[in-house]
Amino acid sequence: MNIIPAIDLKDGACVRLFKGDFEQTTEYSRKPLTVAQRFSELSVAELHIVDLDGARTGSQQNQAVVEGIAGQTTLAIQIGGGIRDTRTLLGWLDRGAARCVVGSLAVTEPATVEEWLDEFGPERVVLALDVNIGEDGVPMLTTHGWTRPSTTSLWDGIERYRDRGLKHLLCTDVSRDGALAGPNLELYAQIVGRYPALRLQASGGVRSIDDMTALRAAGVPAAITGRALLDGRITAEEIRSFPQDG
Query: What's the mean pLDDT in 59-88?
Result: 91
pLDDT of residue 166: 97
More confident residue, 27 or 147: 27
Q: Residue 180 — pLDDT band, cuts 50, 70, 90?
A: low
β strands within the chain, DSSP E: 2-10, 13-18, 21-29, 46-51, 76-80, 99-102, 125-133, 139-143, 148-153, 168-173, 199-203, 222-225
Question: For the chain, how far is it from start to end, CA to CA, in angstroms?
Answer: 9
More confident residue, 134 or 17: 134
Residue 213 placed within a domain: yes
Question: Which segment of 52-66, 70-84, 112-126, 160-174 scores lowest on mean pLDDT?
Answer: 52-66
- Residue (of 45, 33, 38, 10) closest to 232 by Cα position: 38
> Using DSSP, how many helices (H) and how many strands (E) does the chain show?
11, 12
Residue 132 placed within a domain: yes
Q: Decide: 202 and 177 in contact? Cβ < 8 Å.
A: no
Residue 93 placed within a domain: yes
Structural domain span for residue 136: 2-241
Residue 198 dihedral angles phi and psi, to the nearest 5°: -70, 145
Residues labelled as active-site residues: 8, 130
Residue 246 placed within a domain: no
pLDDT of residue 137: 87
Compute CA distances 143 → 38, 71, 146, 186, 242, whole Å: 32, 31, 5, 22, 33
Q: Decide: 138 and 148 in contact? Cβ < 8 Å.
A: no
pLDDT of residue 53: 84
Query: What's the mean pLDDT in 151-162?
Result: 94
Residue 190 placed within a domain: yes
pLDDT of residue 217: 96
pTM (predicted TM-score): 0.92
Query: In angstroms, rounded to a whole number, what is the distance separating the alpha carbons of residues 168 and 176?
Result: 21
Residue 16 placed within a domain: yes
Compute CA distances 163 → 105, 108, 120, 191, 195, whole Å: 18, 18, 15, 17, 13
Count of domains in the chain? 1
Q: Residue 56 — pLDDT band, cuts 50, 70, 90?
A: confident
More confident residue, 54 or 86: 86
Q: What is the pLDDT of residues 81-134, one digit of tens each?
A: 889 999 999 999 999 999 999 988 999 999 999 999 999 999 999 999 999 888
Query: In angstroms, rounded to a whole number, what is the distance separating the alpha carbons of residues 243 and 153?
Result: 33
How many residues appear in the chain? Answer: 246
3-state SS of the chain: helix, strand, coil percent to 5? 35, 30, 35
Residue 36's domain is classified under what CATH number? 3.20.20.70
